[in-house]
Amino acid sequence: MSGKINQVEVIELGDRSKESSSPWSSTMLLVRLTTDDGLVGYGEAPTTFSTLSVLGSMKEVERIFNGADFFNIEHNMDEFYRNSFYLTKSFQDTAALSAFEIASWDLIGKSLGSPVYNLLGGKMRESLRAYANGWYSDCITPEDFVNAGRKVVSSGFTAMKFDPFGSSFDHLPEEGLKTAKAIVSSLRSELGEKVDLLIECHGRFSPRYAMKVAEAMKEFGVFFIEEPVHPEMEHALPEIRSMNVPVALGERLLNKEDFSRVISQGMVDVIQPDITNCRGILEGKKIAAIADSFGVQVAFHNAFGPVQTAATLNLDYSIRNFLIQESFDYFWPEWKKNLVRSGYSLDRGFLKLDGKPGIGVEIDEKILDEHIVDGIEPFDPAEPPWVVSNTFSRAPRFQ
């Protein structure tokens, strides 16, 4: 069986006139692949402070996939690898390639009349436990976090991730650590032991301060701490793990070789590949298999849009070592929430695919057309693009 891609469209989406979401959520990059017989497949690439550079790389990848047989994923991926000299180090290239890979799987599933998870080995489970992220916009004080956390729990979630470190970066002053502990302590006291707390560090600390964070979080029984050190300081991770607080990371790793290194060298308890930047669904399946052979669980990173979410859920269904799935769904801007008409559901803290062919989503073309934009994403010099809105710029500056 074969199928030829005869049209490639790279689409940037956004809504700057009404935008209130976190900066990385303000734009989306999609690729739409169309075949000779009219099948349409969608893939998504991440945008964090890189919208135009990723878009440019998508134009490069287009030259490989346009006219290619979408069934030949391994061949098409290898053809780009052969031509892209910096692929192993380039987030822009791996992000662009991932979008085309995901769209190819969407086409394969639709061509065969099967959801992608059936082509990856079938379902290991019927539904997927989710944790909420993006829920703490404008939260600064412990009271802010508790009030917002109550709403998250009332919607059915039993796990939530958050960054309690305000404006701290690289080092963490004692007052900043004290505030972070107060936030986590207040949430633990209010929500009880039945709600899992996941601590996001955003890769912002040097090793000395990351170890202070790990020591401070131990008493609260946190589910894991994510990216406790700057990504280039991964050598400190085994020592941080020795403090008996689970460590998670992976959204900045670009391929199975990167993951093999951190897993085999005992740097991590939970991996978080992002299939929109680690070369897509098939590479994600391989990464999960490597992790499984070391007894490491998988919690895929998933911060961008519903096409990414649907593609990721297909993998979640099919891997043995699934742990939990990140969800921003309730906290996206409205246009992004409504971009897909159907495909998956989030109910009482659990995600579930509808079982439709391909990755499973039906795009609302009207909303897509209304939100096509051209240009760079917003920039706020007072707040990095990777934080949840107004949790950095409005936080106290501790010396």
Active-site residue set: 202, 301
Phi and psi at residue 33, to the nearest 5°: -105, 135
What is the per-residue DSSP string for 166-186?
A: TT-BBB--HHHHHHHHHHHHH
390 Cβ contact list (under 8 Å, min separation 6): 137, 138, 383
Please check whether residue 64 is in contact with residue 78, taking contact to mean a CB–CB distance below 8 angstroms: no
393 CB-near residues (< 8 Å, 6+ apart): 167, 380, 382, 383
Residues 6+ apart with CB under 8 A from 19: 26, 333, 378
Cβ–Cβ < 8 Å for 229, 237:
yes
The secondary structure of residue 87, as a DSSP letter, is G
Q: Comparing C-alpha atoms, which of 76, 16, 35 is closest to residue 376?
A: 16
